[in-house]
Amino acid sequence: MGVPFIGRLSAGEWPTVLGSLFVAYFESIISLITESIPLPILQSITTILSHIHIYIFRIFISDSSNQIVDPEAQKIKERLTEATNAHELCKVHGLILEDHIVRTKDDYLLTLHRLPPKKVGSPVVYLHHGLLMCSDIWFVMNKRDQNLPYVLHEAGYDVWLGNNRGNKYSAKHLYLKPNSRKFWDFSMDEFAIYDIPDSINHILKHTSMKNLIYIGFSQGSAQAFASLSINSDLNNKVKLFIALAPAITPTGLHHKTVDTLIKTSPNFMYLLFGKRTLLPTASFWANTIYPPLFVKVIDASVQGLFDWRSANIDQDQKISSFKHLYSPTSVKCIVHWFQIIRNGKFQLFDENTSLTYSLSRSFQPANFPTRTNIKTPIRLIYGTIDSLVNIEEYLSLLPEYTTRAIPVENHEHLDIIWGKDVKRLVFPHIFNALKEAEDEDLDIKKVTNDEESI
């Protein structure tokens, strides 16, 4: 059977398709080469290149007559850029992380990170990353008081950070090997059915708390929407859900050719990247390309795909943040998003993607019942110029009386966590929501005590 979209391409669209194929297969060749190099040698090469980059960058800065450099700020940026994991990132600002391992019901082993609270019994906040990310994204801001976990920790919260199966910290299964196709046979369904509830259950059991506050960024919010909608008991365990740059049903990509291809055939991703992990050498390139050049590559990529200009993220911050932007996920997870974009529905993964099935539609994939089944109060904090957020559509999919949308003017997707003004424009909304949840708890306790006294 032929590929259905081939005959629909115009002459102007062919360069994009051929360029995508070239990138995908070039990437697979590089992946094979890097996998054949012994890990100690590969680590030595990337470490040497990283030091060379820092040296070159220092020369570049010293030669810039109009640039005033704060030595301490420069040192922090270098340490954040050189850090290889969440523990090293936290040490830059003087904090220590704990590791916790969660065994999911389908036998994946997930790593949770925790900033131990200042006192036992502190309220718990759980943060979850977005697509193609890991928990590192929460620790990369150059200024300590712009890192949300540190601010929450300082305010007296017990801060936990999750990681999806397959990413940098959760590439382990009791019976499956990461190089097997079966290991990567998961979509957002598995995040919602296993990863989120199993992680939350572990946290509550470990802390002996009855509930927690969930903060999700981008896909981290979508996973919570999905999980709360299909796990009714989870609504009693999550007392407040704060969705940063929420994702439910993105309208599509800014790049019209790519957008047309994925809407015509989500399986286009399988054609390009196979059925395991997406872009396995991305981390290698992040460690080997000169940091300012790598920033330009990411800037060009997100502008082409999403029309993001990243004007609210400083150049120095981009160098620190973009280095830790990528973490692996399955190609199937990306295909799941393309199905959602194509159908305009927040739905479970559609396993039947053949052309014959698409024409006959004997079965319809179920939608996540977000509007009817979610009982947890929701706060949506979103940028007004975020091309992925259609706030009116999102509100129509969520409970009317327990959902509140909070705009952040002239902010895009990544600005909500990495923008230069997050402390002033984003964090106050988060802490207002936390205070509302705390006040509600106090009201409930007062009513309970009054009833007991009667």
Q: pTM for the complete prediction?
A: 0.85
Question: Where in the sequence is the domain holding 161, given as residue range(s)?
Answer: 6-36+70-453
Domain CATH for 196: 3.40.50.1820
| Active-site entry in 20, 170, 187, 218 | 218
421 is catalytic: no
255 is catalytic: no
363 occurs within a structural domain: yes
46 occurs within a structural domain: no
42 occurs within a structural domain: no
56 occurs within a structural domain: no
| Active-site entry in 386, 387, 411, 415 | 386
The total of structural domains in the chain comes to: 1
Return the pLDDT at 49: 57
Query: CA distances (Å), 31 to each of 27, 45, 171, 281, in order?
Result: 6, 15, 17, 6
62 occurs within a structural domain: no
282 occurs within a structural domain: yes
Return the pLDDT at 256: 72
Return the pLDDT at 43: 55
Return the pLDDT at 130: 97
64 is catalytic: no
393 occurs within a structural domain: yes
Residue ranges of the chain with pLDDT lower than 70?
1-69, 254-255, 257, 353-362, 442-454
Return the pLDDT at 22: 45
322 occurs within a structural domain: yes
- The closest alpha carbon to 157, from 187, 127, 189, belongs to 127
Return the pLDDT at 103: 98
